[in-house]
Amino acid sequence: MELDLTGLTTRAAQVWGGVRLVPVTRDEPITGLRLHARAYGDEPGVVEVGPRTHYTSYIPHGFVATWFDDDTAVAAYGTQLKRDGAGDGRPARGLRLRSHRRVARRVERNRLRFLPLHVAVEGYLALHFGGPEVVWDEWSRRAIRRGLSPRVEEAYLGARVQGLADALKHFEIHPGQCGVLVYVADALASAFVVPHPDDYRALHTTLLQDMYGELVHHYATLATPSPRFDVRLADDVESVADLRAAAARERAEWARFHDTTMAAGLLGETYAMSRVYRAGDYTLSRFLPTFRLKQENHIGELITDREGRTAYLKTFRLSEAQVRRGHLLTTLAAHDWHLATTATALGVTEHQLGLRLAGAGFGALLREDVLARYRAQGDPRRGTKD
């Protein structure tokens, strides 16, 4: 399934150093669904995913989606900050651990609380989480008993992405803006779309509390200033009408270039969708890519209406290592977790596949003697060749 961004238009980009922000506007705001933020503070959070399964992460904020079953317009609550503890405002000693019941949970009849980006990341972490489905001899008892528990991935807070805070602070919000695409060194880092311009104004700064991948943080640290796309008007502009027509052509050309070239790695791909919650006419889903090696891959979450149009979207760009892990797991699952068959599909030998699993952090899934044999087969000092 592809992302449906019908009714959304990208506007002229704003550049601050290595950060490029591309505003997104709507032809018509969505009034039947609204989002507001709920801030949780600095404590890490634990989410109960299922029986004996928990998701642990830094969770600074959540989103609350409010909707009506008819066409009644609803208003955003705005961003609210609530801190538990002493009234003098001093930080409490020790480390608080905030508990959440699932990454998406209905809190009232027409209100859904969900944890932005964590809906998507939980889907990636849960990818074939149960481990081998067929008990082949090569898999360890731990793999059969515990699967991939625990799965661990790293991410960076938006405030640690160099230049992002300054860009969000200095750039103006476009009239009617309902979202933004964030580029770092002209690599698409994140897409963020909400139903209404008022929602975006309230949630604009929450981009600094979002998660960004290792690749994005690396690019931000080493990036040189991104080029500006300056507009050059033709010499035949002689009136205000000519100027308006030229501006309209430039806006259309920019949107075409952006959507077909700059954002092609996100918008031109198909995704595996998984429904998380149905809220009236709207559906909260998460999606996973096909894990194309050495290419751009995004995971994300979205809310769509009955026609499949996007009301809310938030994405996370995977690093090369995360893509390799996803590719290995999906290929193993597609071949019933049989190492020899999977190795043939990947075009490598069985011991090379074993070493890839170990290098990807999945070495504990293999029996120790099997992994030792693979390492010996790949050791050039033993006189063997791949």
Calculate mean pLDDT across residues 236-244: 85
pTM for the whole thing? 0.83
Beta bridge partners of 54: 48
Residue 133 predicted with pLDDT over 70 = yes
Higher-confidence residue: 112 or 163?
A: 163
Task: Indicate the domain borders of the chain.
Answer: 1-85+97-134+147-229+262-322, 323-378
**pLDDT recorded at residue 54:** 65
Give the pair of three-digit tokens for residue 346.
């990947």
Nearest to 300 by CA among 317, 285, 287, 291: 287
| Per-residue pLDDT band at 91 (split at 50, 70, 90) | very low
| Per-residue pLDDT band at 80 (split at 50, 70, 90) | very low
pLDDT digits (tens, 9 = 90+) for 317-356: 999 999 999 999 999 999 999 999 999 999 999 999 999 9
Burial of 185 (0-12, 13-18, 19+ CB in 10 A): buried
| Per-residue pLDDT band at 119 (split at 50, 70, 90) | confident
